[in-house]
Amino acid sequence: MKTAVKCLNRPSFKEYLTVTADAVSSALTEQFPAHWNIPAILRESMDYSLTAGGKRLRPLLVIAAAEAFGGSREAAMPVACAVEMVHTYSLIHDDLPAMDDDDYRRGKMTNHKVYGEAVAVLAGDALLTHAFYSIVQAGRRHGVSSDALLSIVEDLSEMSGARGMVGGQVADMSGEQGITGIEELEYIHLHKTADLIIFSLLAGGRIGGADKSQLEALRCFGQDLGLAFQIQDDILDLVGDESKMGKKTQSDVEQEKVTYPYFIGMDASLRQVEELTASAKKVIAESGIPDSSRLLEIADYLMKRDH
Build a one-symbol-per-residue string for 103-142: x at contacts with ligand GRG by CB under 6 A, - elsewhere: ---x------------------------------------
- Least distance CB 114 / ligand GRG (angstroms): 16
- Least distance CB 12 / ligand GRG (angstroms): 21
Of 49-57, 72-80, 261-269, 284-292: span binding ligand GRG (CB under 6 A): 49-57
Q: What is the bridge-based pairing of β-strands 108-109 and 104-105?
A: antiparallel
- Per CB under 6 A, does 91 bind ligand GRG? yes
- Per CB under 6 A, does 297 bind ligand GRG? no
Residue in 224, 171, 238 with CA at minimum distance from that of residue 194: 224
Please list, in sequence order, all residues whose beta carbon lies within 8 angstroms of the beta carbon of residue 100, skipping any fewer than 6 positions away.
94
- Least distance CB 11 / ligand GRG (angstroms): 21
Q: How many residues bind ligand GRG (CB under 6 A)?
A: 15
- Per CB under 6 A, does 67 bind ligand GRG? no
- Per CB under 6 A, does 192 bind ligand GRG? yes
Give dist(CA 286, CA 45) in Å, integer. Answer: 44
Please list, in sequence order, all residues whose beta carbon lies within 8 angstroms of the beta carbon of residue 187, skipping any fewer than 6 positions away.
168, 171
Give dist(CA 136, CA 23) in Å, integer. Answer: 19
Please list, in sequence order, all residues whose beta carbon lies within 8 angstroms of the beta carbon of residue 108, skipping any fewer than 6 positions away.
52, 53
The answer to whether 133 touches 149, Cβ cutoff 8 Å, is: no
Give dist(CA 64, CA 71) in Å, integer. Answer: 9
- Per CB under 6 A, does 82 bind ligand GRG? no
Of 50-58, 198-206, 254-262, 273-281: span binding ligand GRG (CB under 6 A): 50-58
Which parts of this chain interact with ligand GRG (CB under 6 A)? Answer: 54-55, 57, 90-91, 93-94, 106, 165-166, 169, 192-193, 230, 233
